[in-house]
């Protein structure tokens, strides 16, 4: 429905989420309870986040992961999402005084709205809000979390507009009592495996803070605005959850045409996740067993998703997001190694996915056969979040690198390569190490001297206790 008497009525109640107030509140409570972290390690203090906006049966379980971490102190929520039905240049600003859902009305912040209405980027695009769902579906979560009448919203729908310019426009209004929610789904209507690859690449762009990186998302502009604001506020992205419509609702989803979803929080640097601590013997055994079972299932043609049950509460740390690699060796020789540097998914999922990919998708080796399984030895490496080395010259790179401790990433424009810390055992000389890493990226031997150098650390362990 359109704006009516300055109230923007619900357009998708009864379709995207329940029209009954009680049923809607019960559903939101259920999703939030299921998403709550079991170890309480992540405080509810996030002010910038990304949440999906599909029908609740498909995306609400992912969105809830972002909202359980949202700050309860927020008084104003800036909602940014894409226009699905109307084409225009700039940012649509509402003329409504309230947005309404079955849980009641939410007041639009008239002071901020009026100031934005006078900005050159902003306009009122007729019909932009009429059937638009991207902002509306976020409201029931906010109404339950923040309380009726205790917050105002600034609903913004983006057309063709630059994210950096929008972020600069919004920054004066973002303080400690302001929450920014970027509403976006990820890839659309790809087969399951292709969708996860595309979504992982998008998520990696967000986590790395790469303003020019690859992104496939209907709310790309909204996500990039959140990234720009987070960068100005000194925040880093943490992935909370990432699944497709087939993974969230397999009874309804089509594995050949899925939609991707992600919940991402922007947190104070070093505040949450992404760091590889030492792991208990029980945790190590679980990870190695998971990699082994996934490898066997993959090689024998089974469904590797069956080997990825969420860890029990006593192993809840393995449900946090980490970068990780799985290395396969045979008779002392490398037979496959695949991983994700950025913490783009829960650790247990990353280990399972990387075990299967190391067996089948390392381009240096043929696919592993069932007859080789007994000879394969598995090694797992869990990574800290990469950080710039901060070197200003080639000599400074050599001075700051710590052999046997640093994993190294060389970034050369679109090219990138990494060596895990274990590679120092084969290449202990710093110059030789960097030369081989540059050549691995497809660059010249000496191109490490002009590269952007990032480093990380790793906890690694293998079958047999080595």
Q: Which token pair is 47? A: 């002010």
Q: Is the pTM above the cut of 0.75?
A: no
**In the CATH scheme, what architecture does the domain 281-384 have?**
2-Layer Sandwich (3.30)
For domain 3-268, give its CATH number from 3.40.830.10, 3.40.50.620, 3.30.559.10, 3.40.47.10.
3.40.830.10
The answer, yes or no, to whether residue 91 has pLDDT greater than 80, is yes
- Please tell me the predicted confidence (pLDDT) of residue 252: 86
- Please tell me the predicted confidence (pLDDT) of residue 5: 65
Reported confidence tier of residue 277, pLDDT bands at 50, 70, 90: low
- Please tell me the predicted confidence (pLDDT) of residue 98: 96
- Please tell me the predicted confidence (pLDDT) of residue 14: 96
Least confident piece of the model among 170-179, 260-269, 362-371, 395-404? 260-269
pLDDT (mean) for 315-320: 82
Higher-confidence position of 224 and 314:
224
pLDDT (mean) for 153-167: 97
Reported confidence tier of residue 272, pLDDT bands at 50, 70, 90: very low
pLDDT (mean) for 42-65: 91
Fold category of 387-459 in CATH? Dna Ligase; domain 1 (3.30.1490)
pLDDT digits (tens, 9 = 90+) for 6-32: 999 999 999 999 999 999 999 999 999
- Please tell me the predicted confidence (pLDDT) of residue 344: 82
pLDDT (mean) for 193-204: 89
- Please tell me the predicted confidence (pLDDT) of residue 308: 62
> Above pLDDT 90, what percent of the chain?
73
Q: Where are the domains of the chain?
A: 3-268, 281-384, 387-459
pLDDT digits (tens, 9 = 90+) for 30-51: 999 999 875 554 556 889 999 9
- Please tell me the predicted confidence (pLDDT) of residue 3: 44
- Please tell me the predicted confidence (pLDDT) of residue 38: 58
Mean pLDDT (the chain) is: 90
């Amino acid at each position: 429905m359109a704006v009516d008497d300055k109230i923007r009525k619900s357009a998708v109640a009864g379709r995207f989420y329940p029209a009954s107030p009680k049923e809607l509140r019960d559903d939101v409570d259920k999703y939030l309870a299921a998403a709550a972290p079991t170890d309480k390690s992540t405080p509810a203090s996030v002010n910038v986040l990304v949440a999906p906006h599909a029908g609740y049966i498909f995306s609400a379980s992912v969105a809830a992961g972002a909202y359980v971490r949202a700050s309860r102190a927020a008084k104003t929520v800036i909602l940014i999402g894409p226009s699905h039905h109307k084409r225009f240049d700039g940012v649509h600003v509402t003329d409504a005084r309230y947005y309404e859902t079955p849980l009641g009305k939410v007041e639009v912040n008239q002071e901020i709205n009026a100031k934005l209405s006078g900005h050159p980027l902003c306009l009122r695009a007729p019909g932009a809000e009429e059937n638009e769902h991207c902002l509306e579906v976020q409201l029931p979560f906010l109404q339950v979390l923040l309380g009726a009448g205790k917050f105002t919203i600034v609903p913004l729908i983006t057309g063709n507009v630059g994210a950096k310019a929008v972020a600069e426009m919004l920054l004066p209004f973002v303080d400690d009592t302001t929450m920014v929610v970027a509403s976006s789904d990820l890839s659309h209507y790809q087969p399951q495996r292709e969708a996860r690859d595309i979504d992982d690449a998008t998520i990696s762009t967000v986590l790395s803070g790469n303003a020019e990186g690859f992104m496939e998302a209907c709310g790309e502009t909204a996500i990039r605005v959140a990234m720009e604001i987070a960068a100005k506020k000194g925040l880093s992205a943490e992935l909370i959850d990432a699944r497709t419509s087939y993974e969230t609702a397999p009874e309804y989803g089509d594995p050949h045409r899925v939609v991707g979803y992600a919940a991402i929080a922007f947190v104070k640097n070093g505040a949450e996740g992404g760091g590889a601590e030492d792991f208990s013997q029980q945790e190590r055994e679980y990870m190695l067993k998971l990699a082994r079972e996934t490898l066997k299932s993959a090689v024998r043609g089974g469904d590797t998703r069956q080997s990825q049950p969420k860890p029990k509460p006593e192993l809840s740390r393995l449900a946090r997001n980490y970068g990780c690699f799985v290395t396969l060796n045979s008779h002392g020789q490398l037979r496959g190694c695949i991983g994700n540097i950025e913490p783009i998914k829960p650790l247990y999922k990353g280990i399972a996915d990387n075990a299967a990919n190391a067996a089948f998708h390392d381009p240096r080796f043929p696919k592993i056969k069932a007859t080789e399984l007994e000879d394969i030895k598995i090694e797992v490496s869990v990574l800290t979040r990469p950080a710039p080395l901060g070197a200003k010259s080639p000599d400074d790179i050599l001075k700051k690198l710590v052999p046997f401790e640093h994993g190294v990433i060389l970034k050369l424009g679109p090219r990138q390569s990494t060596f895990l810390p274990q590679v120092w055992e084969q290449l202990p000389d710093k110059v030789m190490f960097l030369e081989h890493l540059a050549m691995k990226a497809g660059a010249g031997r000496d191109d490490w001297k002009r590269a952007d150098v990032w480093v990380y650390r790793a906890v690694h362990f293998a079958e047999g206790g080595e």
